[in-house]
Amino acid sequence: MTDIIDGKAFAAKLRDRVGEQAAKFARAAGRKAGLAVVLVGEDPASQVYVRSKHKATVAANMESFEYRLPADTAAADLLALIEKLNADRAVDGILVQLPLPAHLDEQAVIAAISPDKDVDGFHVTNAGRLAVGQSGFVPCTPLGCMMLLTDRLGDLSGLEAVVIGRSNIVGKPMAQLLLDANATVTIAHSRTKDLPAVVRRADIVVAAVGRAEMVKADWLKPGATVIDVGINRLPPAEGEEKGRLVGDVDYAGAQDVAGAVTPVPGGVGPMTIAVLLRNTLVAAHRAEGIDLPEGAL
């Protein structure tokens, strides 16, 4: 019987713990931890994400600062805002919602954020810190995946893990986290030869490629733990207004083989915002020189 890994329930518990620690922080520091979110343009999906982040931040006893800029905002104006937020002691975390309009250089914008306020974990300094084992911020989605994995499996030492996808946002940091946990890690991608055979030897599979239901049941090792990061909308079937959301894994088929699997939606997705709040609270404690109790988050 395959276990369904309930990311929604896990994320709710994490948000509760963040809220409790955030209230303690506010009493100790005389202020709330603060997250600033910058949205450039009117991308509908981005607007939904920003609203969700605002609601979750306030619910977690933290300050939410929103900056909504027109789509034609000049790069100099956006960078000036980031410089202002870097210097603002009320702001502990800065998140610039991606994607940005085409005329703005995403890498330049990310590079302008202070690494100590880069709660998305995208800055090259934080990527470097992760690579060499120093304390920094890890991108929210892979860190959330690791939380689900360790909750399910405990010690990952010696387990064989395959990460499908090599993005800077998920694939590469996910592989590094697994390596740090003493798993044996393979990063697979579009050029990997005989991808099904590579995946089939894995005790842990993390799929993050953005291709609907690409990973089939016969790719999986019996009993494997499968973390599905993908979120894809299928074309609507006859009579449907919108197509259903699916992951990168054939979820129905995986349930006949895997030991555990995350659903889509309700698996990895809810973890991302919960970890963002966690990272912001960690940043606030560091900024004020206040110790966060070990294991609190």
The Cα–Cα gap between 98 and 139 comes to 13
Closest CA to 296 of 38, 19, 29: 19
Neighbours of 282 (CB within 10 A): 21
24 is catalytic: no
Report CA dihedral (98, 99, 104, 106) to the nearest 10 degrees.
60
CA dist 176 → 35, 119, 149, 184, 186 (Å): 26, 18, 14, 10, 10
53 is catalytic: yes
- Active-site residue identified among 116, 118, 120, 250: 120
Closest CA to 108 of 123, 118, 120: 123
77 is catalytic: no
- Active-site residue identified among 53, 117, 172, 221: 53
- Active-site residue identified among 32, 92, 97, 221: 97
The Cα–Cα gap between 33 and 92 comes to 6
The catalytic residues are 53, 97, 120
